[in-house]
Amino acid sequence: MSEHTRFGPAGVPPMFRVMGADLPDVPRLLRAEGLDALEYEAVRWGPKPQIRRENAEKLGSAAKENDVRLSLHGSYFINLSGKREVVEASKRRLIASATAADWMGAYVMVFHTGFYGRFEKDFAFKTCLNALKEVSAEMRSLGLRVKLGPETMGRKFQVGSLDEILTLNQEIEDTQLVVDWAHLHALHQGSLKKVEDFRAIAEKVEEKLGTEAMRSMHCHFSKIEFTAQGEKRHHTLDEEKFGPDFRMLAEVIAYFQMHPTMICESPILDVDARKMQETMKQVLDSKQSKVDP
Ligand SMILES: [Zn+2]
C-alpha cells in the first residue's frame, strides 16, 4: 500500500456539532470532505480518561471503516520537569490519555512535555527525559500500543525545542516524532521564510532519526502570530501577514517523498485542512507534469 500525506483537523470541527453529529459520526463526515486524519482533543483531561471505553472504541471502528487515521492530543496539564509530585501527577495524566488513545486505536498520543521553570535548562530536560522513560516502561507493562509523541513547542519557557524533541525520540522507546511547524516558526521569531528553511529541518531530522522517521513524522500546521517570547496565537492560512507558508512545506514533502500526518490547528480546522490538501495535490501534480514527456 502506498503511503500518502494525510490531512485532518485538531478536534471535531464546530460545524459538525452544529449539525448534531455524535463522535462516531465524525470520521464519516471527514471522509465526505475528503479528509483522512483526526486528532482527538483530550487536552483538559485529569488523571482518568474522560471518555467511556465504549465510545472510544466506537470512534476507533468508525475511523477504521472510513480510513481516517486517529491521533490523540493529551492533557495540557503536564509538567515532566517540575517537582517530584508534579511529575508524578503528570505521569498519571499521560497514562490516562494513552489508555484512551489505545481504546480508540490512535497511533500516537501527542503532548507538551512541560516548562523549564526555575531549573537550569539541562536539568529540566534530564528530569523530563527520565520521567518519560518511566511512562514508556509503564505503558509497555500495561500493554498500551500507542506511541508517545512529545511535540516541538513554541514558547521560550517551554521544554521542547527541535533538538530536545529529537533527543527524546532517540532515547526513548516507542516514540513518534511530532513537529509543530508553526511552533518552530514562532519560537525562532519567524525563521521559516524559504523552502530551504523547511528543508533544513527535514534534513536534520533525517540525520538524527533516519529516513523513515523523517518521512512519517506527525505534523501540526497553521499560521501563527508571535512575540519575543514565542507563540501568541494560531491564524488561518489566508492571513497574508502571518507565516509560515504551507506551500513551502508541501515542496519539501514532495522532494523527500514524505508521507506525514498533517493536523490543521488553524481556527478553521477542516476548511484549512482541505486547503492544505489541495496545495499538496497541486505541488505533486506540477512535479508529475515535469517528469511526464
Ligand atoms: Zn500541542
Model pLDDT for residues 143-185, shown as the tens digit of each residue: 999 999 999 999 999 999 999 999 999 999 999 999 999 999 9
* Cβ < 5 A residues, ion ligand 1: 151
233 vs 247: CA distance, rounded Å: 21
The length of the chain is 293
Please give the distance, rounded to the nearest whole angstrom, from the Cα atom of residue 29 to the centre of ligand 1.
24
pLDDT for 290 equals 77
Please give the distance, rounded to the nearest whole angstrom, from the Cα atom of residue 111 to the centre of ligand 1.
6
Please give the distance, rounded to the nearest whole angstrom, from the Cα atom of residue 293 to the centre of ligand 1.
44
Question: How far from chain centre, in Å, is Cα 138?
Answer: 22
Report, in angstroms and rounded to the nearest whole number, the Rg of the chain calculated over CA atoms: 18
Please give the distance, rounded to the nearest whole angstrom, from the Cα atom of residue 232 to the centre of ligand 1.
13
Please give the distance, rounded to the nearest whole angstrom, from the Cα atom of residue 286 to the centre of ligand 1.
32
Please give the distance, rounded to the nearest whole angstrom, from the Cα atom of residue 195 to the centre of ligand 1.
24
Q: Is the pLDDT of residue 1 over 80?
A: no
Please give the distance, rounded to the nearest whole angstrom, from the Cα atom of residue 224 to the centre of ligand 1.
13
Question: How far from chain centre, in Å, is Cα 291?
Answer: 32
Task: Report residue 287's pLDDT band, with 50, 70 and 90 as the boundaries.
Answer: confident
For the segment 70-80, the average pLDDT, to the nearest whole number, is 96
pLDDT for 292 equals 66
pTM of the model: 0.96
